[in-house]
Amino acid sequence: MKTDWKNRWQARKNMGLFGAGTWVSLGLAFMLTVFAPLEIYLNNPDEFWYDAGMLLPWCLVYFAVAFGLSEAGFAVLFFLGDRWYDFGVAAYLTVFAGCYIQGNFLVKNLPALDGTELVLADYKSEITVSCVVWILVAAVVLGLCVKLGRERFRKVAGGVSLFVTLMLLLTIGTLFVTTAGYVRKDYLTSVKDNQFEMSRDANFVIFVLDAVDESKLEAVYARHPEYAEQLADFTWYTNVCGGYPCTDCAMPLMLSGEWYENEEPFQDYLHHVYGEGALFEELEQDGYAMSLYDADLQLSERVIGDRYQNMIHTKIYLYQPLLFAKRQMKMVGVKYAPWLLKQFCWFDAHQLWNQRVVDVDEDVFFWEDSLFYEDLQQQPVTYTDEKQFKMIHLEGAHAPFKYDADVNVVYDTDYASCIEASMTVFIEYLNKLKEAGVYDNTVIVMASDHGLNEDPRVMDGRQHPILFVKGANEHHALQTSDAPISHADYLGAYGKLLGGASSDAVFDWKEGDERERRYLFYYIVLRDHMVEYFQTGHASDRSTMHRTGNEFDYQKSN
């Protein structure tokens, strides 16, 4: 018996470490624990607060664990016999090839990690294709195993695994260089400083409630007749067509009127908007102190400096590293796992922001409606002689739906209740300004960055955001306008509001006008591919949105 085990060990040594098992283990472990999380990050660096330097160590730890366990497993299989060993090689090669195809070619219509729960019934075609591909991969591997024989199959399996691993290594290295992934982030942090500091002279507030859809708000409004009195002095624009389906591009377009078409790194575009944008230049020239209350905004201190009085440089630390690593692997699973297993990998990627810890004593601004509502009730308005501009970006009615109408966190709720909560927060903000005596001299724009489809799991149909506008010293009953407005029109409206125009006179377009409005569609965290539409009808009508044939793809050499 002892001699038999000794002979097997000698045979294994003669094959060179663990042979095919080593290379398929190496390839699968490298792809899923190093390549995949880094590739997701490097292709979408502006979606995440952390940098590659914080992510890479955890990738290496996961790789060491996965590879070590695999090698140990193959050692056991070898000593159990050649058939067991070949079975392990075939199984690993099947998973390796299946995950590679799944994560690189079957990535259309991936479930959004934006808080909307994954329901497999909505992805029947994707599940069918995924199952067929995995069955075919398994059949091909089995066929090779039978046709080639033991020795040739092991050589082919090991050679293919090594080749793909080297290709993945070259790809990730190229991405590091072309995306400057090696550069550490020095982003500014938005803190609550001067959150309710207002001028007795003039103020300008842009209040953004995320993901509030105009059509759904109208349904909520019908159940709340008190809104008409509470929103007096505003003009409600009911026919606004947004520019993008997601916040990252929609917000800068709303503030600048400038489109992003994948012609430059997104961070360059973002810094141009916030560093050189016409709105902020005009505000500075008019003597406004500017504050941006946006938890997700990533602006570099090297570019922006101290332009915004509540944005400060901080050192950033990771909270609960093991949970962070677990979520990274889940994110990999959402992309690389077969569709039937994606439900076990899904999570709300916004939770990653909760793991961001900064080294300052000031209160960091978070976008949760409940936290801002609490501040509204507890913190007083303070006064300054300097005119104030504030952009406040709140959670609004973004998924996951967790608020009741009174802004209590209950989780067992729905989209309409979250819209009601959003309106409760905004109306409380208006009341606070009125009580402080600064409501009349404050220009207020209340908007959303995008709407939401009736089925929140579907990314199209988000082109109908809300817009309410009040000029300085404006008093009248709530009025509505169905003029065809675009997010690209907002910059001109801001200038007119700063010049004293009333809310119903800030756009050139009027009710009854016919107009084509542009909309660039992309899937969340897949911003590098955009498809152009023109809305030729009412903003709420998806049937009048027509593809132009233009598509905008980001080239990694940019």
Look at residue 374 and give its three-state secondary structure.
helix
Of the candidates 334, 337, 340, the residue with the CA atom closest to the CA atom of residue 124 = 340
Of the candidates 101, 92, 49, the residue with the CA atom closest to the CA atom of residue 70 = 92
* Contact (Cβ atoms closer than 8 angstroms) between residue 469 and residue 445: yes
- Please list the pLDDT of the chain residue by residue as tens digits (558 residues): 455 555 555 555 444 345 777 888 888 899 999 999 988 888 777 778 788 888 888 888 899 998 888 888 887 877 777 788 778 888 888 888 888 998 888 777 777 666 666 777 777 888 888 889 898 988 888 888 877 777 788 888 888 888 988 999 998 888 887 776 666 777 788 888 889 999 999 999 999 999 999 999 999 999 999 999 999 999 999 999 999 998 889 999 999 999 999 998 888 898 899 988 899 999 999 999 999 999 888 787 777 878 898 888 777 777 788 888 888 888 888 888 888 888 888 877 777 777 676 666 568 888 899 999 999 999 999 999 999 999 999 999 988 888 999 999 997 888 899 999 999 999 999 999 999 999 999 999 999 999 987 554 455 678 999 999 999 999 999 999 999 999 999 999 999 999 999 999 999 999 999 999 999 998 776 788 899 999 999 999 988 999 999 999 887 555
* Contact (Cβ atoms closer than 8 angstroms) between residue 342 and residue 323: no
The pTM for the full model equals 0.76
Residues 367 and 353: their CA atoms lie apart, in Å, by: 11
Residues 495 and 134: their CA atoms lie apart, in Å, by: 57
Cβ neighbours of residue 240 closer than 8 Å, sequence gap 6 or more: 214, 447, 464, 465, 466, 467, 485, 486, 487, 539
Q: What is the identity of the amino acid at 101? A: I
Of the candidates 398, 368, 412, 416, the residue with the CA atom closest to the CA atom of residue 462 = 398
Class of domain 188-314+360-553: alpha beta
Token reading at 97: 């090839």
- Listed by start position, the domains of the chain span 2-178, 188-314+360-553
**Partners of 240 in the β-ladder:** 485
* Contact (Cβ atoms closer than 8 angstroms) between residue 463 and residue 245: yes
DSSP labels, 185-240: P-BEEEB-TTTTEEESS-EEEEEEETT-BHHHHHHHHHT-THHHHHTTT-EEE--E
Token reading at 372: 């801002």
* Contact (Cβ atoms closer than 8 angstroms) between residue 23 and residue 67: no
Characterise 51 by phi-psi region: left (phi > 0), alpha (psi -120 to 50), beta (else). Answer: beta
